[in-house]
Chains A and B, each alone.
Chain A
């Protein structure tokens, strides 16, 4: 690294004519390998690697403990069930990832899921055509996201407070729609909810249903947005720690992007609300309490930093899977459901400690780098908040 950082004063002569120098133009394969090694050891990927490791660990434990002679614990059915049970959480986590990457937070998603479920149920009972109902459901989420985004960006209200207000608003509106559980009996809706493709036979039978497909599409769109568009890189830039000042001065649309991440998170909450309605086939005003925490925890377990600027959608996906697998393990062990919370808390603690250890390691490495390179700024002290 250092050799590339400190060009000798005479390097102006090293200008290239037509085309760029190839990476490692001097070192060949070894040099390329070294560069890739550096990139992979990049701290951006390490937490995600930790998540994947945990995932594998849980699977190995599960395989060892719960496999029988006739059935292996790890099979397609397990993953199929995981996705069926957690597709709504997956979509929420994806939306939350956008917000957390900018250093924000969205506490409203659980309440929005409940509200969307109720709105969908109510509209279906009122006889509104299904496509319109689904659209309206998603739009409810979008509107809430927009509200938060506007409060955050144009009224300088902290994301925590703005989304808290949105959460109260959504919960209040839930109770305006209905204080009782509304069952969804619309034929079209239940058909959609129960549609699935069957694979395999007998005990190893597994399914693909609509929720899984929707969740998968959402993940793919998110990967595209975050990694293959200017918008996505702006999202990362917003999390750089100076409130988007840098990306603003770079001429990128910081303000608009900041609103958009909340719109995306809200829209994801809208979609998740519909998926959750598919799952429960009802709307109820008390669903989704604490669901936002599940989503945030999944994103953090997936390796994102709450300070923003670091994390991956696929990490969040892994985080959701870890979350889901813990529930599976608890159920298989026959423990009471509250154990899940305790375990999730413990895993969260573990991951946070891991991240902490990694960032200290990183700092130590950077200090070493500084030793070799000129003109370092005085080391910035780690901010706790």
Chain B
């Protein structure tokens, strides 16, 4: 019973301020938000009109709106990924799923020959989503029923998925003309770009689903201690399966939102490496890859960082090809700043000196 609770000496005001700061800095979202703000400010300084938003033809325009629009795809992917990661899993197949769902939708619309009707576009959308859901459920089956490690289970479709998308498009880049379908990616609702509306709507729904019910807590409990959760009666199989299916569905939606503006299903390139972007977004948002506690709000911050970064490269007149370099820097900086090891080093240098490679339970 000793030693786990530090006794507080009477705090002086300066002390209290310091403690408030350190509590703030200790929040998982502190460094990601700092990174985002710094990025936005830097862009604002270099390009004075950066933060302006104007209304043209009843639509919102501006750099910030563009950034929001760009964030939609990674956010959709990250939301599903975040829940999967919370269970201690990972889904590497989302990039390939994007390609497959888009291929299915566009192939259906192309074959139907009536691409201009709303009904066809919606059926195409639904078909793409159903296929994505099935793939997600397949991943979930491998992980939960067969007990295969998530990394490997989803690696299978990450590798094979793009080949499957190619089979669907018969190796062609399927292009169609379907204004209703295109609107999914480039339309507006009340002046707000459609992808932003979709992403925001999905975010709100998932937050409601996860935090309005006990799903979130159970996900975290599965991710932290699966066996203890099982003994507490948690149906970890069903819950885990559900999030993989949801992750697949959202990846399918992301693929359609991403590919709709061009109406071209390029099986080789749609969603290429997007799974890694999504994982990066989740991690930037303060969710640990080993599972457990997760933050959906963090995904929003992470997705915004990612697209702001991409925009910033343009604003700073750098060649767009070097974007990965900055992704790497941000990822390393945020991870190192958030690393427990560093915190303990900065916070209590003396303890760090003594901390062995193993976390130590103090005098327990």
Contact = CB atoms under 8 A, between A and B. Distances in A.
B156 A157 contact: no
B322 interface: yes
A344 B161 CA distance: 11
A154 B341 contact: yes
B331 A164 contact: yes
A382 interface: yes
B163 A156 contact: no
Contacts of A297: 155, 159
Contact of B279 (A154, A164, A289): A164
Give the dominant DSSP class at A's interface: helix
Interface string B221-263: 0000011001000000000100000000000000000000000
A105 B150 CA distance: 14
A151 B329 CA distance: 13
A336 interface: yes
Given A158-B290, A164-B331, A338-B163, A384 B276 contact: no
Contact of B326 (A172, A285, A382): A172
Contacts of A156: 339-341
B160 A161 contact: no
Contacts of A344: 159-160
Contacts of B160: 341-342, 344-346, 348
A264 B336 CA distance: 23
Contacts of A339: 163
Interface string A156-184: 11101110111111011101100100000
Contacts of B301: none
B357 A168 contact: no
Nearest to B170: A336
A341 B163 contact: yes
A166 B88 contact: no
B147 A382 contact: yes
Nearest to A384: B147
Interface residues of B, number: 63
Contact of B149 (A154, A306, A342): A306
B65 to A, nearest CB: 26
Nearest to B160: A345
A105 to B, nearest CB: 7
Interface of B: 87-90, 142-144, 146-153, 155-164, 166-167, 171, 226-227, 230, 240, 267, 272-273, 276, 279-280, 283, 289-291, 319, 321-329, 331-332, 335-336, 339-342, 356-358
Given A155-B341, A157-B339, A300-B152, A336 B166 contact: yes
Contacts of A172: 321-328
Interface in A349-376: 349, 352-353, 356
Chain A CB within 10 A, most for which of B152, B161, B273: B152
12 contacts: A161-B335, A169-B329, A171-B325, A172-B321, A293-B155, A336-B171, A339-B163, A342-B163, A342-B164, A356-B148, A381-B226, A385-B226
B327 A296 contact: no
A81 interface: no
A75 interface: no
Q: Report, nearest first, the 8 A-B pairs whose CB atoms are least far apart.
A: A345-B160, A172-B325, A341-B163, A175-B321, A168-B328, A169-B328, A385-B88, A338-B166
A257 B142 CA distance: 33
A24 B253 CA distance: 64
B103 to A, nearest CB: 12
What size tier do the contact residues of chain A reach?
Answer: 35 or more
Contacts of A160: 90, 279, 289
Given A155-B335, A155-B339, A381-B227, A168 B325 contact: yes
A53 to B, nearest CB: 20
Contact of B280 (A164, A176, A341): A164
A356 B146 contact: yes
A173 B324 CA distance: 8
Contacts of B156: 345, 348-349, 352
Contacts of B143: 384
A20 interface: no
Contacts of A179: 319, 321
B151 A352 contact: no
A4 to B, nearest CB: 31
Interface string A128-158: 0000000000000000000000010011111
A254 B356 CA distance: 12
A248 B360 CA distance: 14
